Amino acid sequence: MSESGALHLSTGLHGKTIDKDQLDSTVEQYAKYHDLHGGDEEFRKSNYSDLVKKYYDLVTTFTEYHWGQSFHFAPRWHGETLRESIKRFEHFITLQLGLKKGMKVLDVGCGIGGPLREIARFSSTEITGLNNNANQISRGKELISLAGLSEQCNFIEGDFMNMPFPDNTFDAAYAIEATIHAPDVLGAYREIYRVLKPEIELGCGLPDVRSTRECIQAMKDAGFEVIFAKDLAEDSDCPWYHEIDPGHFSLKSISTSRVGHLLTRAIVGTLEFLRIAPKGCNRLFSILQTASHGLLTGSREQIFTVTFFVLGRKPLKESEI
Q: Identify the DSSP state of 38.
A: T
Which residue, 124, 90, 91, is CA-closest to 110? Answer: 90
DSSP helix/strand/coil, 195: helix
Cα 15 to Cα 190: distance, rounded to the nearest angstrom: 36
Cα 114 to Cα 64: distance, rounded to the nearest angstrom: 10
Q: Mind listing the pLDDT tens digit for each residue in 205-252? A: 333 356 788 888 999 999 999 998 988 878 777 766 666 666 665 555
- pLDDT at residue 207, rounded to an integer: 33
Please report, rounded to a whole number, the percentage of residues in the chain having pLDDT higher than 70: 76
Q: Mind listing the pLDDT tens digit for each residue in 275-306? A: 887 788 877 777 777 766 666 666 666 656 77
For the entire predicted model, the pTM comes to: 0.74
In this prediction, residues 55-65 reach a mean pLDDT of: 84
Q: Mind listing the pLDDT tens digit for each residue in 133-168? A: 999 999 999 999 999 999 999 999 999 999 999 999
Asked if residues 171 and 200 have their Cβ atoms less than 8 Å apart, the reply is yes
Asked if residues 232 and 75 have their Cβ atoms less than 8 Å apart, the reply is yes
- pLDDT at residue 238, rounded to an integer: 74
Asked if residues 210 and 179 have their Cβ atoms less than 8 Å apart, the reply is no
Confidence class for position 4, pLDDT limits 50, 70, 90: very low
DSSP helix/strand/coil, 179: helix
Q: Mind listing the pLDDT tens digit for each residue in 81-136? A: 889 999 999 999 999 999 999 999 999 999 999 999 999 999 999 999 999 999 99
- pLDDT at residue 231, rounded to an integer: 85
CA distances from 194 to 188, 189, 235, 260 (A): 10, 9, 33, 46
**Angle at alpha carbon of residue 96, lines to 93 and 101, rounded to 5°:** 85
